[in-house]
Structure 1
Amino acid sequence: MCAGAVLYWKYKDDPIGAIKVDKNVKRTSFHLPIIGSLLAMVQDIDNSIDLLSQELNSPHFERALVLAVPFSEPRIMIHDPQSIEYITNTNFENYVKGTFTNSRMQDVLGNGIFNSDGHQWYTQRKLTAKIMTNRNFKLYIDTVFTDNISILLLVLKDLAQNVPVDMHDIFQRYFMDSFGKIAYGIDINSLLGESPSYVRAFDRSQNVMGSRFVNPFFRLMDKFNYNLREDIKMIREFGNQVVENRKNTMEKRNDLLSLFMEHRDEYGQSPSTEELADHVISFILAGRDSTAQALSWTLYCLSKNPHAKECLLKEIKDILGDKEIPDYEQVRKMKYANAVFKETLRLYPSVPREGKVALQDDILPNGTRIPKGAIVSFYPYAMGRSEKLWKDAVQYKPERWLNSKQPSSYEYTAFMCGPRICLGKNLAELQGVFTLVAILNNFDFEIINPLSVEKKISLTLPMKNGLICQLTRK
């Protein structure tokens, strides 16, 4: 009895095995002595992001909130743009991905751009920026995306006559094919048949990596996860094969893989096959998931907001006329379509949460003390639902993006912010709107069971049960 009381008081504010955080910073409302927030996080892991959003947007929220679980770094959650700008830009050097992120993603992503810091990250970003140009974006629309959207429309025309269509799965296949062609010159062709086994392995491994950020005992559980080991093996073999195929052909292309292959480090050394595979895997995941999921949520939002859908269809008709597929200039003219895409990402950001490890003790602009080793987190998903940042925050209003001052990247954090802001932002918006317009110009859709649409825990924000639609050709 006495031992239990001692444990209770010793670990009342900070769970067992966790770094101690200033007691003046509030804990989550579901914090318990000894185990912290663990129970609430694992009880309904797929909806944990909604639970945290409610906490951060509660009238009782002040400057920060502590989310802590046993034997893991505490997360100090912030919600104000000033502090977010501070950790992602002003004091950028003190807040890194660190071992917290690296240990949870290393076996799948290696040392790719999303899992690295310092010089390694900077070099990858600098090389990637060379590809992310408006000139290349126009080229992609005129070639790769136009070719692939033609294939997609043919596939959908065939499916629309027979069975309900999982548009979430269709979008993932389409962007897997498109980005594979753009970044690495490979023909995956997943739209024309069953998804390759490594594509399904990507999905399963992402779900596992997402759960690792909540579960402090993931290392133990991974030891008994045979399927995970097989998935990782399959993913790594895919990355290595893409690299080896390019090396064997000696083909030089204007794509990401060629840039990375031609790069030499400060010692004049070229990257290894394993290092190149890290890049292949990381960018395939980013290029596919972010836009595919954004479009899935866009269809969902339009189905619940018929006025927005009607306004979008009118703009498509006015600009395209009898044309089936838009071109680059037409996509850029579509202000309402672009507003629809941004409004969806405000409420359903493809990366719903982000965290940085503090290398040294610090104090945020809002006065919160940050101990060395703690994670400072912000949640784009919660920020998009904040009445402090957005008028009528929970309502879907594309009009808010028209003829008004645009929010800063520290308020609208769907594409992150600071030096690590997403390099693919403009490409994602362009290809997202291009695909959305092409589909709605050729098909009407109805979600068969809207209540079945749910989020799933992952690194990103996929749909747990897909997006099952009945398509009707126009």
Structure 2
Amino acid sequence: MIQNIILFLLMFLPFLVFFLIRPYSNKSKTSVIPKSYPIIGSYLALKANSHRRIQWLSDIVLASPAATFTLRRLFGIQSIFTANPATVQHILKNNFPNYRKGDIVVGTLSDLLGNGIFNTNGEDWKFQRQVASHEFNTKSLRNFVENVVDSELSDRLVPILSGAAARQEETLDLQDILQRFAFDNICRIAFGYDPQYLNLSFERSDFAEAFQEATEISSLRFREPLPFVWKLKRALNIGSEKRLRIAVSQVRQSANKLVREKKKELHDNSSLGSVDMLSRFLSSGHSDEDFVTDIVISFILAGKDTTSAALTWFFWLLSKNPRVEKEILKEINEKSEAPVFDEVKEMVYTHAALCESMRLYPPVPTDSKEAVNDDVLPDGTAVKKGTVVTYHVYAMGRMESLWGGDWAEFRPERWLERVEGDKWRFVARDSFSYPVFQAGPRICLGKEMAFLQMKRVVAGVLRSFRVVPTAADGVEPEFISFLTSQMKGGFPVKILQRKV
């Protein structure tokens, strides 16, 4: 009874606030910048745009002076959003010690991520980054491409696509397929464990399903204007928080089982050595199973959702831009039947096309830091201690000042220049104008691994198949974001055998 009363009051509060301020509100909706009121700040605008939060904040930031905006929330709390490269450099590099994973982010994600690398600071973060960095040398990358990715591609992904092409009328959710592919990949390379999530005839992976649900519900906590709502639901063990508790429990049990089995494997075979990331962590002297479990969960999150999100949007953009697809096919056909490590690295045009796709649809569209002390940003914005500062990657990919008047076009050539006749040379942008992989001390360790994996998938798929979205012409998929971006409702496609 008490639970129902509390929930009723929480649901009624926004309507009460609306009617209290309605007589004083400005009815004009022409301005992009949201109205702010005493006590509630811009709560009403935030609530009204919760279904398109990323796009709404992007519009505001791009319309703001110096591409920086201070959003006033309930009870005087302020958050700062920016798409200014100088400000991004300031918080990610120049004044890095002052901008950390703050209490809000850490507390919101702690049930799922614990003290994993993406949810911690200081010595714990340094240790995890140092140990993980050994997994990204040339030998490991070559092994990843030539063994893990190639076998997953040839033994599972290509047969699934071939079957769909043979049945002609079958529709596949390519987003789901790519998520399964990436989940298998990261588990195999990082932990020496094959969940066979892409093997559709194999028993459904409870681990992967629970991981997906835990990720989505955890991210929804950030959309709640009143954090005490989800905290109360967690305390009462009701609704989405009850589902999250069950999902996290399943995830942690599965991850902990991986850790225990790897510890036993290393104990029984001391000559095995550090053949994967999990072995490296366990061999580093850290035997706390909970801590190593946090590490496992964080790296699955990094490897599963980012590359699959990037590839999902890439294949959609390619279907709308046949000219670009033709150029990529030309590059693929210049390589051997199955591109090996060195050849995949040389796929320059494909690399540029992937960068261009992630500019428009970044796998992680926003990222937040919390100020340890008072500060002033390069554009003059004052930052008080404890303020959350978010750099808006999605908005930065839409800045005319960075990408020109044709920023809305999918044009890989903006990343390239001609050399030696018809050959291309890739021209990278600085990581503070293009922070898709973060920048500064926290720049993504797996950046090169991600590109190699994606290029190998692109080559393996496009060599034999055409990916045709089933949506009607002119209907664009909806960009949404949990901890990483997705297509709302999946990416339904038909697979057609490519004619020689």
User: Is TM (by shorter chain) over 0.5?
Assistant: yes
- The C-alpha deviation readout for 1:407-447, integer Å capped at 9, x for no partner, is 11000110011100100011101111111111011111100
1:296 aligns with 2:312: yes
1:263 aligns with 2:284: yes
Please tell me whether the aligned partners of residues 180 and 186 of structure 1 are also in contact (alpha carbons under 8 angstroms): yes
1:130 aligns with 2:134: yes
Structure 1 residue 42: Cα displacement: 3.5
Pick one of 131, 140, 147 that aligns with 1:143.
147
1:219 aligns with 2:238: no
Pick one of 115, 121, 124 that aligns with 1:120.
124
Which amino acid counterpart does residue 164 of structure 2 have in structure 1?
L
SS in structure 2 of the partner of residue 366 of structure 1:
coil
Please tell me whether the aligned partners of residues 34 and 45 of structure 2 are also in contact (alpha carbons under 8 angstroms): no
1:394 aligns with 2:408: yes
1:326 aligns with 2:335: no
1:425 aligns with 2:447: yes
Structure 1 residue 284: Cα displacement: 0.7
Structure 1 residue 327: Cα displacement: 1.2
- The C-alpha deviation readout for 1:377-428, integer Å capped at 9, x for no partner, is 1111110011111112121111111127421100011001110010001110
Partners of 2:367 and 2:76 in 1: how far apart? Answer: 16
Aligned length: 444
Question: How does 1:173-322 map onto structure 2 within 5 Å?
Answer: 173-193=180-200, 195-215=204-224, 216-217=226-227, 218-222=230-234, 223-224=237-238, 225=240, 226-250=242-266, 251=269, 252=272, 253-264=274-285, 270-320=286-336
Please tell me whether the aligned partners of residues 53 and 381 of structure 1 are also in contact (alpha carbons under 8 angstroms): yes
SS in structure 2 of the partner of residue 445 of structure 1:
strand
Which amino acid counterpart does residue 243 of structure 2 have in structure 1?
N
Structure 1, 333-342 or 29-38: larger mean CA deviation: 29-38
Please tell me whether the aligned partners of residues 136 and 446 of structure 2 are also in contact (alpha carbons under 8 angstroms): yes
Structure 1 residue 36: Cα displacement: 2.4
Structure 1 residue 125: Cα displacement: 0.5
- The C-alpha deviation readout for 1:290-328, integer Å capped at 9, x for no partner, is 1011000001111122211121112212334xx1x3211
Structure 1, 397-406 or 463-472: larger mean CA deviation: 397-406
Which amino acid counterpart does residue 186 of structure 2 have in structure 1?
F
Q: Which residue of 1 aligns with 2:485?
A: 461
- Structure 1 pair 248–90 and aligned structure 2 pair: CA distance change class (3 A): same
Partners of 1:71 and 1:261 in 2: how far apart? Answer: 46
Partners of 2:214 and 2:40 in 1: how far apart? Answer: 27
> Could you tell me the percent identity over the aligned residues?
33
SS in structure 2 of the partner of residue 111 of structure 1:
coil
SS in structure 2 of the partner of residue 130 of structure 1:
helix
SS in structure 1 of the partner of residue 136 of structure 2:
coil
Please tell me whether the aligned partners of residues 63 and 366 of structure 1 are also in contact (alpha carbons under 8 angstroms): no
Q: Which residue of 1 aligns with 2:55?
A: 50
- Structure 1 pair 436–46 and aligned structure 2 pair: CA distance change class (3 A): farther
Question: How does 1:342-421 map onto structure 2 within 5 Å?
Answer: 342-391=355-404, 392-403=406-417, 405-421=427-443
Pick one of 158, 161, 170 that aligns with 2:177.
170
1:438 aligns with 2:460: yes
Partners of 2:296 and 2:72 in 1: how far apart? Answer: 34
Question: How does 1:26-175 map onto structure 2 within 5 Å?
Answer: 28-58=33-63, 60-62=64-66, 64-70=68-74, 73-151=77-155, 152-162=157-167, 163-175=170-182
SS in structure 2 of the partner of residue 181 of structure 1:
helix
Partners of 1:473 and 1:314 in 2: how far apart? Answer: 17
Structure 1, 181-190 or 47-56: larger mean CA deviation: 47-56
Unaligned runs of 5+ in 2: 1-16, 26-30, 418-425
Which amino acid counterpart does residue 396 of structure 1 have in structure 2?
F
- The C-alpha deviation readout for 1:243-295, integer Å capped at 9, x for no partner, is 0111222254421101111123xxxxx33111111011110111111101100
Which amino acid counterpart does residue 81 of structure 2 have in structure 1?
M
Please tell me whether the aligned partners of residues 164 and 494 of structure 2 are also in contact (alpha carbons under 8 angstroms): no
Which amino acid counterpart does residue 173 of structure 1 have in structure 2?
R
- Structure 1 pair 31–134 and aligned structure 2 pair: CA distance change class (3 A): farther
Q: Which residue of 2 aligns with 1:20?
A: none
SS in structure 2 of the partner of residue 186 of structure 1:
coil
Runs of 4+ with deviation above 6 angstroms: none
- The C-alpha deviation readout for 1:115-168, integer Å capped at 9, x for no partner, is 000111011101111111122111211111111111211122123333111110
Partners of 1:80 and 1:195 in 2: how far apart? Answer: 44
SS in structure 1 of the partner of residue 463 of structure 2:
helix
Q: Which residue of 2 aligns with 1:267?
A: none
Partners of 1:128 and 1:409 in 2: how far apart? Answer: 21
Q: Which residue of 2 aligns with 1:19?
A: none
- Structure 1 pair 32–461 and aligned structure 2 pair: CA distance change class (3 A): farther
- Structure 1 pair 243–43 and aligned structure 2 pair: CA distance change class (3 A): same
Partners of 1:376 and 1:318 in 2: how far apart? Answer: 46
- Structure 1 pair 78–187 and aligned structure 2 pair: CA distance change class (3 A): same
Structure 1 residue 205: Cα displacement: 1.9
Please tell me whether the aligned partners of residues 28 and 37 of structure 1 are also in contact (alpha carbons under 8 angstroms): no
Partners of 1:467 and 1:27 in 2: how far apart? Answer: 30
Partners of 2:141 and 2:35 in 1: how far apart? Answer: 46
SS in structure 2 of the partner of residue 190 of structure 1:
coil
SS in structure 2 of the partner of residue 389 of structure 1:
helix
Please tell me whether the aligned partners of residues 46 and 455 of structure 1 are also in contact (alpha carbons under 8 angstroms): no
Q: Which residue of 1 aligns with 2:423?
A: none
Which amino acid counterpart does residue 470 of structure 1 have in structure 2?
K
Q: Which residue of 1 aligns with 2:13?
A: none
SS in structure 1 of the partner of residue 468 of structure 2:
strand
